[in-house]
């Protein structure tokens, strides 16, 4: 990890000296507590940890050719077999963008843009997250074989974007399906035939106070005819003008070729924030999810799990004209168990922390 950090820092520093771009240091450090009730698998915990710590370099060769390199230092810096590509897990973005009029081609490690506003929000700004995003709940990891938003945040592939108007765009993305979710023993990256394609629409209206996003992704399994269907839609609305509301719907389904297993997850995410204070931003959050496992090798997993979560967040920025803040967040999530022999599980989470995002080249 240390060698990786020094190499990345030396590279970005040398490049920035020759052609200055932006080199953002983004860090969020938290003290976090989790308290479970009636969960047969999860234990209470409290810890200090880095939610986010990364360097993000963005530069240009000219007006039509740009590039981006972002590395996270709270992630594994080794290449994991079957992870979906031959890059390190810690490498989040590494792509080149070529603009050709209203079209732009992006290639490398990039974002799949599945999950609309929840997944497009920086992880440093997330607190309560949906089961479609994390694939976890008060009873631990979910059993379905569908893909979560977090599985597809960073993918190795290509994206072609069309700028319809200055405020609207349509993108087509193609990338490799993560092997670890489609085969017990992942084949080599070079021989895998598992691919996913996605279509993404983004638009801004009413002087950019109303933003919409929708996506559909389809993929197949590794060396099989397993099918993945993923869809999402979201609206972000700034109104009155000191309020902001956001609502997302995300769905992911899996259908196995052998055995006929069918799994799905559906989540609705809602957020309302008051933005009228100069230094303080309070926000309420809610999530509602449903996981349906129709057939599974473990019979007790079959059925429908339901999740309901509520959260409250307060962010405080003590220094003007900086992206520095303190934050306090509380959430409660309940899981109605598909297995009637188990009690409904609950988890309370309290997070207290700090975040700084600053350009090191300024």
208-259 tens-digit pLDDT: 999 999 999 999 886 678 899 999 999 999 998 899 999 999 999 999 887 7
Dump pLDDT digits (tens) for 277-322. Answer: 999 999 999 999 999 988 766 556 688 999 999 999 999 999 999 9
- Collapsed DSSP state (helix, strand, coil) of residue 30: strand
pLDDT of amino acid 35:
97
Residue 11 has pLDDT above 60, yes or no: no
Half-sphere exposure of 227 (CA within 13 A, CB side): 7
* Euclidean distance between CA atoms 60 and 96, whole angstroms: 10
pLDDT of amino acid 169:
98
Range 75-89 average pLDDT: 70
pLDDT of amino acid 235:
98
Nearest alpha-carbon partner for 307 in 320, 319, 326, 289: 289
Mind listing the domains of the chain with CATH numbers?
33-185+202-359 (2.40.160.10)
Region of 92 please: left (phi>0), alpha (psi -120 to 50) or beta: alpha
* Euclidean distance between CA atoms 133 and 268, whole angstroms: 11
Dump pLDDT digits (tens) for 164-214. Answer: 999 999 999 999 887 554 444 444 444 566 889 999 999 999 999 999 999
Residue 85 has pLDDT above 90, yes or no: no
* Euclidean distance between CA atoms 346 and 329, whole angstroms: 17
pLDDT of amino acid 299:
56
Distances (CA, A) of 195 to 33, 108, 144: 39, 15, 20
* Euclidean distance between CA atoms 203 and 188, whole angstroms: 39
Residue 73 has pLDDT above 50, yes or no: yes
pLDDT of amino acid 3:
54
Asked whether 155 and 356 are in contact (CB, 8 A), the reply is: no
280 vs 260, more confident: 280
Alpha helices by DSSP H, the chain: 2-18, 116-120, 131-134
Asked whether 245 and 237 are in contact (CB, 8 A), the reply is: yes
User: What rounded mean pLDDT belongs to the chain?
Assistant: 88
pLDDT of amino acid 108:
96
């Amino acid at each position: 990890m240390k060698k990786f950090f020094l190499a990345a820092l030396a590279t970005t520093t040398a490049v920035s000296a020759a052609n200055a771009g932006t080199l953002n240091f983004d860090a969020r450090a938290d003290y976090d507590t989790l308290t479970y009730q009636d969960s047969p698998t999860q234990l209470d915990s409290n810890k200090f940890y880095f939610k986010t710590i990364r360097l993000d370099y963005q530069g240009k060769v000219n007006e039509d050719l740009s590039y981006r390199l972002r590395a996270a230092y709270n992630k594994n810096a080794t290449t994991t077999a079957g992870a979906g590509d031959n890059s390190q897990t810690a490498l989040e973005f590494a792509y080149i963008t070529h603009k050709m009029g209203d079209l732009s081609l992006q290639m490398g490690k990039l974002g799949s843009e599945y999950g609309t506003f929840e997944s497009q929000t920086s992880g440093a700004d997330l607190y309560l997250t949906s089961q479609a995003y994390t694939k976890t709940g008060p009873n631990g990891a979910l059993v379905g074989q569908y893909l979560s938003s977090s599985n597809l945040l960073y993918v190795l592939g290509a994206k072609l974007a069309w700028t319809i108007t200055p405020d609207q765009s349509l993108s087509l993305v193609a990338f490799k399906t993560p092997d670890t979710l489609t085969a017990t023993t992942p084949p080599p990256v070079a021989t895998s035939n598992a691919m996913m394609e996605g279509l993404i629409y983004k638009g801004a209206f009413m002087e950019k106070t109303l933003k919409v996003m929708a996506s559909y992704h389809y993929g197949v399994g590794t060396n099989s005819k397993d099918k993945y269907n993923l869809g999402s839609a979201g609206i972000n609305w700034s109104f009155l003008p000191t309020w902001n509301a956001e609502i997302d719907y995300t769905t992911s389904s899996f259908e196995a070729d052998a055995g006929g297993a069918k799994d799905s997850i559906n989540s609705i995410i809602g957020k309302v924030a008051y933005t009228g204070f100069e230094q303080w931003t309070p926000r309420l959050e809610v999530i509602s999810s449903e996981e349906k496992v129709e057939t599974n090798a473990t019979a007790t997993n079959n059925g429908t799990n339901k999740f309901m979560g509520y959260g409250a967040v307060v962010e405080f920025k003590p220094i003007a004209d900086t992206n520095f803040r303190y934050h306090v967040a509380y959430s409660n999530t309940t899981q109605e168990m598909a297995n009637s022999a188990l009690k409904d599980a609950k988890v309370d989470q309290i997070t207290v922390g700090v975040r700084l995002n600053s350009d090191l080249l300024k």
